[in-house]
Amino acid sequence: MADCGFDPKIGKKFWIQLSQVYKSLYLKILWYKVSLPEGWTSEKFYVSIITIAMRQKIIVGNWKMHGSCSFARSLMQDLLQGGSESVSAEMVVCPPAVYLQYVSEMIADSNLISLGAQNASEHPSGAYTGEISASMLKELGCRYVITGHSERRQYYGEADAEVARKSLAVSNQGMVPIACVGETLTERQNHQARAVVERQLDAVLNLFPADRLEKFAVAYEPVWAIGTGQVATPDQAQEVHEWIRLRLSEKNSESAQRCPILYGGSVNGANAASILAKSDIDGCLIGGASLKSDEFLKIYNEAGWRKFI
Protein backbone atom coordinates (compact mmCIF):
# COMPACT_ATOMS: atom_id res chain seq x y z
CA MET A 1 0.00 0.00 0.00
CA ALA A 2 1.18 3.51 -0.70
CA ASP A 3 2.76 5.35 2.24
CA CYS A 4 0.16 7.84 3.46
CA GLY A 5 2.54 9.33 6.01
CA PHE A 6 0.60 8.42 9.16
CA ASP A 7 1.42 6.85 12.51
CA PRO A 8 0.93 3.08 12.16
CA LYS A 9 -0.14 2.71 15.82
CA ILE A 10 -3.82 2.40 15.01
CA GLY A 11 -6.14 0.02 16.82
CA LYS A 12 -8.39 -2.76 15.58
CA LYS A 13 -11.50 -0.61 16.05
CA PHE A 14 -10.12 1.91 13.57
CA TRP A 15 -9.54 -0.69 10.88
CA ILE A 16 -13.04 -2.08 11.33
CA GLN A 17 -14.45 1.40 10.84
CA LEU A 18 -12.15 1.99 7.88
CA SER A 19 -13.34 -1.17 6.17
CA GLN A 20 -16.92 -0.07 6.71
CA VAL A 21 -16.19 3.35 5.22
CA TYR A 22 -14.39 1.82 2.28
CA LYS A 23 -17.25 -0.61 1.61
CA SER A 24 -19.84 2.17 1.90
CA LEU A 25 -18.08 4.52 -0.50
CA TYR A 26 -17.26 1.77 -2.98
CA LEU A 27 -20.87 0.58 -3.03
CA LYS A 28 -22.03 4.15 -3.63
CA ILE A 29 -19.69 4.36 -6.60
CA LEU A 30 -21.22 1.18 -8.01
CA TRP A 31 -24.82 2.06 -7.13
CA TYR A 32 -24.82 5.56 -8.55
CA LYS A 33 -22.46 4.64 -11.37
CA VAL A 34 -20.24 7.58 -10.55
CA SER A 35 -17.20 7.82 -12.80
CA LEU A 36 -13.77 8.28 -11.31
CA PRO A 37 -12.08 11.61 -12.07
CA GLU A 38 -10.14 11.70 -15.31
CA GLY A 39 -6.71 10.17 -14.90
CA TRP A 40 -7.62 8.34 -11.69
CA THR A 41 -7.02 4.60 -11.41
CA SER A 42 -8.87 2.31 -9.05
CA GLU A 43 -5.70 2.08 -6.95
CA LYS A 44 -5.49 5.87 -6.64
CA PHE A 45 -9.15 5.95 -5.64
CA TYR A 46 -8.63 3.33 -2.93
CA VAL A 47 -5.56 5.12 -1.56
CA SER A 48 -7.52 8.37 -1.55
CA ILE A 49 -10.26 6.80 0.58
CA ILE A 50 -7.70 5.42 3.02
CA THR A 51 -5.89 8.77 3.16
CA ILE A 52 -9.11 10.58 4.02
CA ALA A 53 -9.95 8.02 6.68
CA MET A 54 -6.49 8.13 8.22
CA ARG A 55 -6.14 11.88 8.66
CA GLN A 56 -5.31 12.10 12.32
CA LYS A 57 -7.75 14.20 14.31
CA ILE A 58 -6.18 17.19 16.06
CA ILE A 59 -7.75 18.79 19.13
CA VAL A 60 -6.24 22.20 19.83
CA GLY A 61 -6.86 24.10 23.05
CA ASN A 62 -6.54 27.87 22.68
CA TRP A 63 -6.32 29.28 26.19
CA LYS A 64 -6.41 32.87 24.86
CA MET A 65 -5.53 35.34 27.65
CA HIS A 66 -6.49 33.09 30.53
CA GLY A 67 -4.56 31.33 33.23
CA SER A 68 -1.77 31.61 35.75
CA CYS A 69 1.15 29.40 36.76
CA SER A 70 -1.02 27.52 39.24
CA PHE A 71 -3.84 27.16 36.69
CA ALA A 72 -1.43 25.87 34.03
CA ARG A 73 0.06 23.36 36.45
CA SER A 74 -3.34 22.05 37.54
CA LEU A 75 -4.78 21.83 34.02
CA MET A 76 -1.72 20.15 32.55
CA GLN A 77 -1.60 17.60 35.36
CA ASP A 78 -5.23 16.73 34.67
CA LEU A 79 -4.61 16.38 30.94
CA LEU A 80 -1.49 14.28 31.39
CA GLN A 81 -3.28 11.97 33.82
CA GLY A 82 -6.56 11.83 31.92
CA GLY A 83 -5.26 11.48 28.38
CA SER A 84 -4.04 8.31 26.71
CA GLU A 85 -1.34 7.78 24.11
CA SER A 86 -3.42 4.92 22.71
CA VAL A 87 -6.03 7.41 21.48
CA SER A 88 -5.44 8.16 17.82
CA ALA A 89 -6.09 11.91 18.09
CA GLU A 90 -3.39 14.49 18.77
CA MET A 91 -3.83 16.86 21.71
CA VAL A 92 -2.38 20.38 21.43
CA VAL A 93 -2.37 23.15 24.01
CA CYS A 94 -1.74 26.81 23.20
CA PRO A 95 -1.18 28.72 26.44
CA PRO A 96 -0.35 32.43 26.63
CA ALA A 97 3.23 33.09 25.52
CA VAL A 98 4.48 33.75 29.05
CA TYR A 99 3.57 30.18 30.04
CA LEU A 100 5.00 28.38 27.01
CA GLN A 101 8.29 27.50 28.70
CA TYR A 102 6.48 26.36 31.84
CA VAL A 103 4.10 24.09 29.92
CA SER A 104 6.89 22.88 27.65
CA GLU A 105 8.82 21.62 30.66
CA MET A 106 5.73 19.87 32.03
CA ILE A 107 5.15 17.86 28.84
CA ALA A 108 8.80 17.27 27.98
CA ASP A 109 8.72 13.60 29.05
CA SER A 110 5.34 12.84 27.47
CA ASN A 111 4.30 12.02 23.91
CA LEU A 112 0.68 12.78 24.73
CA ILE A 113 0.53 16.56 24.27
CA SER A 114 2.01 18.89 21.67
CA LEU A 115 2.74 22.54 22.32
CA GLY A 116 1.36 25.41 20.27
CA ALA A 117 1.47 29.21 20.34
CA GLN A 118 -1.36 31.67 19.77
CA ASN A 119 0.52 34.06 17.51
CA ALA A 120 3.89 34.79 15.93
CA SER A 121 5.57 37.72 14.28
CA GLU A 122 5.97 37.81 10.54
CA HIS A 123 9.53 39.09 11.09
CA PRO A 124 12.47 36.78 11.85
CA SER A 125 14.05 39.27 14.27
CA GLY A 126 14.60 42.98 14.77
CA ALA A 127 13.39 46.06 16.60
CA TYR A 128 9.77 44.96 17.00
CA THR A 129 8.95 45.63 20.64
CA GLY A 130 6.56 43.12 22.16
CA GLU A 131 6.73 40.69 19.23
CA ILE A 132 7.77 37.03 19.37
CA SER A 133 9.47 35.43 16.38
CA ALA A 134 8.72 31.99 15.02
CA SER A 135 12.28 30.87 15.76
CA MET A 136 11.79 31.77 19.45
CA LEU A 137 8.63 29.66 19.57
CA LYS A 138 10.43 26.80 17.86
CA GLU A 139 13.17 26.96 20.48
CA LEU A 140 10.57 26.60 23.22
CA GLY A 141 9.31 23.38 21.68
CA CYS A 142 6.24 24.61 19.79
CA ARG A 143 4.96 22.39 17.00
CA TYR A 144 1.95 24.50 16.03
CA VAL A 145 1.21 28.21 15.82
CA ILE A 146 -2.24 29.75 15.37
CA THR A 147 -2.26 32.51 12.75
CA GLY A 148 -5.01 34.94 11.83
CA HIS A 149 -7.44 34.11 14.62
CA SER A 150 -10.58 36.19 14.24
CA GLU A 151 -9.80 38.06 17.47
CA ARG A 152 -6.42 39.05 16.05
CA ARG A 153 -8.13 40.23 12.88
CA GLN A 154 -10.89 42.08 14.74
CA TYR A 155 -9.00 43.68 17.63
CA TYR A 156 -5.53 44.14 16.15
CA GLY A 157 -6.35 44.77 12.52
CA GLU A 158 -4.49 41.81 11.08
CA ALA A 159 -5.19 41.73 7.36
CA ASP A 160 -5.12 38.72 5.06
CA ALA A 161 -1.65 39.57 3.74
CA GLU A 162 -0.19 39.80 7.25
CA VAL A 163 -1.74 36.46 8.22
CA ALA A 164 -0.16 34.94 5.11
CA ARG A 165 3.28 36.29 6.01
CA LYS A 166 2.96 35.01 9.57
CA SER A 167 1.94 31.56 8.32
CA LEU A 168 4.96 31.45 6.03
CA ALA A 169 7.28 32.57 8.85
CA VAL A 170 5.98 29.74 11.02
CA SER A 171 6.40 27.21 8.22
CA ASN A 172 9.94 28.43 7.54
CA GLN A 173 10.84 27.31 11.06
CA GLY A 174 9.46 23.82 10.48
CA MET A 175 6.31 24.33 12.56
CA VAL A 176 2.71 23.92 11.42
CA PRO A 177 0.69 27.12 11.02
CA ILE A 178 -3.01 26.81 11.86
CA ALA A 179 -4.38 29.50 9.57
CA CYS A 180 -7.81 30.68 10.71
CA VAL A 181 -10.56 31.70 8.30
CA GLY A 182 -14.23 32.48 8.80
CA GLU A 183 -17.10 34.83 8.10
CA THR A 184 -19.13 37.17 10.28
CA LEU A 185 -22.86 36.75 10.80
CA THR A 186 -23.61 39.60 8.39
CA GLU A 187 -21.43 38.04 5.72
CA ARG A 188 -23.19 34.69 6.12
CA GLN A 189 -26.64 36.31 5.99
CA ASN A 190 -25.58 38.11 2.81
CA HIS A 191 -24.47 34.80 1.26
CA GLN A 192 -20.82 35.90 1.27
CA ALA A 193 -19.41 33.13 3.47
CA ARG A 194 -17.70 31.23 0.67
CA ALA A 195 -16.23 34.35 -0.91
CA VAL A 196 -14.84 35.54 2.43
CA VAL A 197 -13.32 32.18 3.36
CA GLU A 198 -11.76 31.74 -0.07
CA ARG A 199 -10.31 35.27 -0.01
CA GLN A 200 -8.71 34.68 3.39
CA LEU A 201 -7.41 31.25 2.38
CA ASP A 202 -6.12 32.38 -1.02
CA ALA A 203 -3.98 35.06 0.62
CA VAL A 204 -2.08 32.32 2.45
CA LEU A 205 -2.01 29.83 -0.42
CA ASN A 206 -0.66 32.42 -2.85
CA LEU A 207 2.38 32.82 -0.61
CA PHE A 208 2.66 29.27 0.70
CA PRO A 209 4.77 26.67 -1.17
CA ALA A 210 2.60 23.91 -2.63
CA ASP A 211 4.97 21.20 -1.41
CA ARG A 212 4.42 22.25 2.22
CA LEU A 213 0.66 21.75 2.38
CA GLU A 214 1.06 18.54 4.36
CA LYS A 215 2.62 20.66 7.13
CA PHE A 216 -0.17 23.21 7.03
CA ALA A 217 -3.52 23.32 8.81
CA VAL A 218 -6.64 25.43 8.38
CA ALA A 219 -9.16 26.28 11.08
CA TYR A 220 -12.63 27.33 9.98
CA GLU A 221 -14.11 29.48 12.72
CA PRO A 222 -17.37 31.22 11.86
CA VAL A 223 -16.96 34.49 13.75
CA TRP A 224 -20.62 34.48 14.75
CA ALA A 225 -20.13 31.22 16.64
CA ILE A 226 -17.04 32.11 18.67
CA GLY A 227 -17.81 32.50 22.35
CA THR A 228 -21.50 33.14 21.62
CA GLY A 229 -22.87 29.71 22.39
CA GLN A 230 -24.07 29.48 18.79
CA VAL A 231 -22.58 26.68 16.75
CA ALA A 232 -22.67 26.03 13.04
CA THR A 233 -24.62 22.86 12.41
CA PRO A 234 -22.47 19.88 11.44
CA ASP A 235 -23.79 20.17 7.88
CA GLN A 236 -22.98 23.90 7.71
CA ALA A 237 -19.47 23.27 8.96
CA GLN A 238 -18.96 20.33 6.60
CA GLU A 239 -20.08 22.43 3.63
CA VAL A 240 -17.42 25.06 4.31
CA HIS A 241 -14.77 22.43 4.99
CA GLU A 242 -15.55 20.92 1.59
CA TRP A 243 -15.04 24.33 -0.02
CA ILE A 244 -11.69 24.65 1.77
CA ARG A 245 -10.58 21.15 0.72
CA LEU A 246 -11.48 21.96 -2.87
CA ARG A 247 -9.46 25.17 -2.75
CA LEU A 248 -6.48 23.33 -1.29
CA SER A 249 -6.78 20.73 -4.05
CA GLU A 250 -6.30 23.43 -6.64
CA LYS A 251 -2.93 24.14 -5.02
CA ASN A 252 -1.85 20.51 -4.56
CA SER A 253 -4.45 17.79 -5.04
CA GLU A 254 -2.66 15.00 -3.19
CA SER A 255 -1.45 17.08 -0.25
CA ALA A 256 -4.92 18.60 0.14
CA GLN A 257 -6.25 15.20 1.20
CA ARG A 258 -3.69 15.10 4.02
CA CYS A 259 -4.07 18.70 5.16
CA PRO A 260 -6.04 18.90 8.42
CA ILE A 261 -9.02 21.27 8.47
CA LEU A 262 -10.25 22.05 11.97
CA TYR A 263 -13.54 23.54 13.13
CA GLY A 264 -13.65 26.24 15.81
CA GLY A 265 -16.68 27.93 17.30
CA SER A 266 -18.20 27.10 20.71
CA VAL A 267 -17.29 23.42 20.52
CA ASN A 268 -17.91 21.53 23.76
CA GLY A 269 -18.28 18.01 25.06
CA ALA A 270 -21.97 17.90 24.16
CA ASN A 271 -21.70 18.85 20.48
CA ALA A 272 -18.22 17.59 19.59
CA ALA A 273 -19.26 14.11 18.46
CA SER A 274 -21.69 15.30 15.77
CA ILE A 275 -19.17 17.84 14.47
CA LEU A 276 -16.23 15.45 14.44
CA ALA A 277 -18.29 12.83 12.62
CA LYS A 278 -18.14 14.78 9.37
CA SER A 279 -15.64 13.50 6.81
CA ASP A 280 -13.85 16.81 6.14
CA ILE A 281 -13.65 17.93 9.77
CA ASP A 282 -10.27 16.77 11.04
CA GLY A 283 -10.41 18.17 14.54
CA CYS A 284 -11.33 21.24 16.53
CA LEU A 285 -9.86 24.53 17.68
CA ILE A 286 -11.27 24.85 21.19
CA GLY A 287 -11.59 28.05 23.21
CA GLY A 288 -13.50 28.12 26.50
CA ALA A 289 -13.88 24.34 26.78
CA SER A 290 -10.09 23.92 26.68
CA LEU A 291 -9.87 25.60 30.09
CA LYS A 292 -11.83 22.75 31.71
CA SER A 293 -9.91 19.52 31.77
CA ASP A 294 -12.94 17.22 31.88
CA GLU A 295 -14.60 19.01 28.97
CA PHE A 296 -11.42 19.12 26.88
CA LEU A 297 -10.69 15.44 27.51
CA LYS A 298 -14.22 14.52 26.51
CA ILE A 299 -13.73 16.26 23.15
CA TYR A 300 -10.32 14.64 22.76
CA ASN A 301 -11.75 11.18 23.40
CA GLU A 302 -14.59 11.80 20.93
CA ALA A 303 -11.92 12.51 18.32
CA GLY A 304 -10.06 9.32 19.08
CA TRP A 305 -11.65 7.21 16.37
CA ARG A 306 -12.60 8.26 12.89
CA LYS A 307 -16.38 8.48 12.36
CA PHE A 308 -18.22 9.17 9.15
CA ILE A 309 -21.70 10.22 8.11
Q: Which residue has the higher pLDDT, 50 or 270?
A: 270
Averaged pLDDT, 282-307: 89
Residue 2 lies in a domain: no
Residues 47 and 81 in one domain: no
Averaged pLDDT, 68-93: 94
- pLDDT tens digits, 97-147: 999 999 999 999 999 999 999 999 999 999 999 999 999 999 999 999 999
- pLDDT tens digits, 164-175: 999 999 999 999
221 is catalytic: yes
Residues 26 and 104 in one domain: no
Residues 272 and 230 in one domain: yes
* pLDDT above 90 for 306: no
* pLDDT score of 39: 61
Residues 130 and 172 in one domain: yes
* pLDDT above 50 for 1: no
* pLDDT score of 294: 97
Residue 283 lies in a domain: yes
Residues 22 and 83 in one domain: no
Residue 4 lies in a domain: no
Q: How far apart are CA 50 and CA 117, in angstroms?
A: 31
Residues 176 and 273 in one domain: yes
Q: How far apart are CA 303 and CA 272, in angstroms?
A: 8
* pLDDT above 50 for 11: no
CB 179 within 8 A of CB 201: yes
* pLDDT score of 40: 54
User: 35 falls in which pLDDT band (50, 70, 90)?
Assistant: low
Residues 62 and 21 in one domain: no
* pLDDT score of 30: 45
* pLDDT score of 81: 95
Domain residue limits at 31: 10-54
Residues 118 and 147 in one domain: yes
Mean pLDDT value across the chain: 86
Please tell me which residue in 158, 221, 295, 302 is annotated as part of the active site. Answer: 221
* pLDDT score of 88: 85
191 is catalytic: no
Q: What percent of the chain has pLDDT over 90?
A: 71
Residue 90 lies in a domain: yes
- pLDDT tens digits, 249-290: 999 988 898 999 999 988 999 999 999 999 999 999 999 999
Domain boundary among 54, 71, 86: 54
Q: How far is CA 23 from the centre of its chain?
A: 27
Residues 42 and 138 in one domain: no
Please tell me which residue in 149, 151, 187, 241 is annotated as part of the active site. Answer: 149
Residues 228 and 94 in one domain: yes
Residues 24 and 132 in one domain: no
Residue 219 lies in a domain: yes
The total number of structural domains that make up the chain: 2
User: 203 falls in which pLDDT band (50, 70, 90)?
Assistant: very high
